[in-house]
């Protein structure tokens, strides 16, 4: 979300980017952080290494034509900031608002109709900016909500919330108890709107929202309720004003989007670390024009993606790969 102080600090060229979504972003390059020590075997939990026996990354996907299967016409949904595709409830997306809302998420159908409002018991977030999903087993998933927004870069810590995804019934409201872990950055506060879950390592990661320069990629590690951890900065990517993203369910594609009509995607080999994958130039996917696009998720079968904007009655944009 764009906060007043964030807008005030933004240079004119950045305001032009936000206000003119039809324009294209500049070419994107990536600078990896110094590698951590590894055994050189290509372990995806490390930050370096890899050898010729590692499976090569897949080819860049190619965007097809976007469709609009529905719009979200609910007075409760006005600041959509994150989206994931459910594996427990067929044909369902989970979305949420960002700052200013209570701790809740919405299950919507593929037509955009709100099916259920999911409230988190005893949770008072400051600014939930993204959601990620972990498929634990058939019929079981965790939803991770990143309370990571910090427009003024003043928060001494941020939080990751976890709830088990419920199986939907005819009930229009559900309440669940969330677990939380507290997170600190090693180099001071950051504003961020992108939370990623790596299905290969079970790590959670954050991409900071850089107003200029490079967006930092911070690894949190696997979720551990009730703990306080300090992130590890593992890479930097040249994506201005990152607003959302996801790692595909098979772990082979890392996507980060911004306010432009593009999402930036890094293919990743089976045994490749996130940092190594991000050290290559990304592919670009077309994103439908959105007033303030922040949410991005891969489809369940990794055959496309869905995006959505903030604002009243936002459209679901679903794009399949060619």
Using CA of residue 296, residue 103, residue 143, residue 147, what is the dihedral sign? Answer: positive
CB 213 within 8 A of CB 165: no
Residue 242 pLDDT more than 50? Answer: yes
Residue 110 pLDDT more than 70? Answer: yes
pLDDT of residue 100: 82
CB 291 within 8 A of CB 21: yes
C-alpha span between 230 and 296 (Å, rounded):
26
Q: For the ranges 9-13, 128-132, 268-272, 302-306, which has the lowest average pLDDT?
A: 9-13
236 or 12, greater pLDDT = 236
The residue behind tokens 């050898």 is 51
305 or 14, greater pLDDT = 305
CB 256 within 8 A of CB 215: yes
Helix, strand, or coil (residue 78): coil
C-alpha span between 39 and 289 (Å, rounded):
45
Sorted by where each starts, the structural domains of the chain and their CATH numbers stand as: 4-316 (2.120.10)
CB 305 within 8 A of CB 93: no
Burial of 45 (0-12, 13-18, 19+ CB in 10 A): middle
> What do you get for the CA distance between the two ends of the chain, in Å?
32
Opening angle at CA 85, ends 79 and 88, nearest 5:
125
- Give the pLDDT mean for 271-290: 97
- Nearest to 295, CA basis, from 95, 82, 79, 71: 82
Q: What stretches of 157-261 adopt beta strand conformation (E)?
A: 158-164, 173-177, 179-184, 192-197, 204-208, 215-221, 228-230, 232-237, 244-247, 253-257
pLDDT of residue 123: 83
pTM: 0.85
Residue 97 pLDDT more than 70? Answer: yes
Using CA of residue 38, residue 39, residue 44, residue 48, what is the dihedral sign? Answer: positive
pLDDT of residue 43: 45
pLDDT of residue 54: 54
C-alpha span between 234 and 40 (Å, rounded):
16
- Nearest to 149, CA basis, from 118, 121, 122, 189: 189
Opening angle at CA 94, ends 2 and 298, nearest 5:
85
Q: Which residues contact 168 (CB under 8 A, 6 or more apart)?
A: 89, 92, 107, 115, 116
Q: Which residues contact 260 (CB under 8 A, 6 or more apart)?
A: 17, 21, 23, 24, 25, 287
Check residue 27 and report its DSSP letter: P
pLDDT of residue 1: 61
User: How far does Cα 25 stand from its chain's mean position?
Assistant: 19
pLDDT of residue 185: 99
């Amino acid at each position: 979300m764009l906060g007043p102080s964030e807008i005030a600090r933004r240079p004119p060229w950045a305001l032009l980017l936000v206000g003119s979504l039809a324009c294209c972003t500049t070419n994107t390059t990536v600078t990896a952080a110094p590698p951590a020590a590894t055994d050189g075997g290509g372990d995806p939990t490390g930050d370096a290494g890899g050898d010729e026996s590692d499976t090569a990354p897949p080819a860049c996907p190619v965007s097809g034509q976007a469709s609009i299967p529905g719009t979200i016409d609910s007075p409760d949904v006005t600041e959509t900031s994150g989206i994931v595709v459910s594996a427990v409830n067929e044909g369902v997306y989970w979305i949420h608002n960002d700052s200013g809302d209570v701790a809740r998420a919405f299950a919507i159908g593929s037509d955009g109709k709100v099916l259920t409002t999911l409230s988190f018991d005893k949770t008072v977030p400051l600014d939930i900016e993204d959601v990620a999903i972990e498929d634990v087993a058939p019929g079981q998933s965790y939803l991770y909500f990143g309370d990571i927004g910090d427009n003024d870069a003043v928060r001494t810590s941020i939080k990751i919330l976890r709830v088990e995804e419920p199986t939907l019934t005819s009930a229009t409201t559900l309440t669940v108890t969330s677990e939380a872990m507290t997170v600190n950055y090693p180099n001071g506060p950051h504003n961020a709107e992108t939370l990623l879950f790596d299905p290969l390592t079970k790590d959670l990661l954050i991409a900071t929202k850089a107003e200029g320069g490079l967006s930092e990629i911070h690894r949190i590690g696997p979720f551990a309720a009730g703990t306080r951890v300090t992130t590890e900065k593992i890479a930097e990517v040249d994506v201005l004003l990152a607003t959302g993203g996801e790692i595909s369910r098979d772990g082979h594609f890392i996507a980060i989007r911004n306010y432009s009509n593009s999402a930036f995607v890094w293919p990743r080999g089976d045994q490749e670390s996130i940092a190594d994958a991000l050290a290559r130039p990304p592919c670009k996917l077309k994103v439908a024009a959105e007033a303030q696009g922040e949410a991005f998720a891969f489809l369940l079968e990794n055959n496309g993606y869905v995006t959505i904007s903030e604002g009243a009655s936002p459209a679901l944009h679903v794009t399949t790969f060619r």
